[in-house]
Amino acid sequence: MNCISQVDRPDSTLFNGDCVEVIAGLPENSVDYSIFSPPFSSLYTYSNSPRDMGNSRTDAEFFEHFDHLVRELARVIKPGHNVSFHCMQLPTSKERDGYIGLKDFRGDLIKAFQKHGFIYASEVCIWKDPVTAMQRTKALGLLHKTIRSNATMSRQGIADYLVTMRKPGEVMDKVEHDDLPVDEWQRLASPVWMDINPNDTLQFRSAREHDDERHICPLQLDVIRRGIRLWTKPGDVVLTPFLGIGSEAYCAVEMGRKAVGVELKKSYFDQAVKNLDALAAQHDMFATA
């Protein structure tokens, strides 16, 4: 296994390595839930490593690489348990794709899981402010001047999604929530989450490396907490193949689950370890207060 290093704690195991290789070393049917935000095809490159799934020349190359991960997930997830991935539809560009429009990245990810037998089980749309997106990306379709001058080129903002795929089979250790009141359930069951704060993320600045760093976009903690809340129970193993700076592992540990995470890039991995250290320090402080 090409794992550079590993940090073990009673409540987490974090690997600095390639997720396909690390997960291939995990036992079959050993993971209760997986939640992650994959590289968005070739939209952002995180490092110049050929193992970086964001370092793909084409979408086909990304999905060829991603397929190896889904195969391993299909092996390690327990029957009847879920995998949730965060994604968005991807804007195309005239230079790269020859046209301005959208690619059905969400649909392609769903198909990648269906190919390995997963059931498309659930999804929630996460609202994003089109004004913020317009200010950040200056996308032609979002500009007010486009609606005034060439309206057929205008478009809606692009939402985020949390898509959940279920491994077929009978659940052996059921997740039963006696403590989830009906009003909370109704909020979680909403097909659109309007109340996710885009800035509710772990801090990442110190994870930035010079020229090979392009982008890290930590997943909002509340999105992760809701997935973990719905589909796991305390003590369950929560796996994230794309640990980044540790958001999914952080929420898993905070909620009394056991986190397993893999990150390729050393600077992000180190930041993830620091974020989990900070959480452990907080726990210790409360325990001694």
Ligand X SMILES: C[S@@+](CC[C@H](N)C(=O)[O-])C[C@H]1O[C@@H](n2cnc3c(N)ncnc32)[C@H](O)[C@@H]1O
Supply the minimum distance, in Å, between the C-beta of residue 214 and ligand X: 10
Say which amino acid occupies 50: P
Supply the minimum distance, in Å, between the C-beta of residue 250 and ligand X: 9
> Which residue's CB is nearer to ligand X, number 18 or number 270?
18
Class of residue 123 by CB neighbours under 10 A (exposed 0-12, middle 13-18, buried 19+): middle
Nearest residue to ligand X, using CB? 244
Supply the minimum distance, in Å, between the C-beta of residue 267 and ligand X: 9
Supply the minimum distance, in Å, between the C-beta of residue 233 and ligand X: 22
**Residues 21, 68: Cα–Cα separation, whole Å:** 9
**Residues 160, 149: Cα–Cα separation, whole Å:** 28
**Residues 47, 160: Cα–Cα separation, whole Å:** 24
> Which residue's CB is nearer to ligand X, number 259 or number 262?
262
Supply the minimum distance, in Å, between the C-beta of residue 121 and ligand X: 21
Q: Would you state the structure tokens that stand for residue 169, as one six-digit string? A: 């089979």
Rg (alpha carbons) of the chain, rounded to whole number = 19
Class of residue 276 by CB neighbours under 10 A (exposed 0-12, middle 13-18, buried 19+): buried
Where on the chain is the footprint of ligand X (CB under 6 A)?
A: 18-19, 37, 39, 46, 51-54, 216-219, 242, 244-248, 262-265, 268
Helices (H) and strands (E) in the chain, counts: 10, 11
Instruction: Give 239's Cβ-side CA count (13 Å radius).
Output: 26
Supply the minimum distance, in Å, between the C-beta of residue 245 and ligand X: 4
> Which residue's CB is nearer to ligand X, number 32 or number 52?
52
> Which residue's CB is nearer to ligand X, number 14 or number 262?
262
Q: Would you state the structure tokens that stand for residue 222, as one six-digit string? A: 């509340």
> Which residue's CB is nearer to ligand X, number 34 or number 232?
34
> Which residue's CB is nearer to ligand X, number 18 or number 72?
18
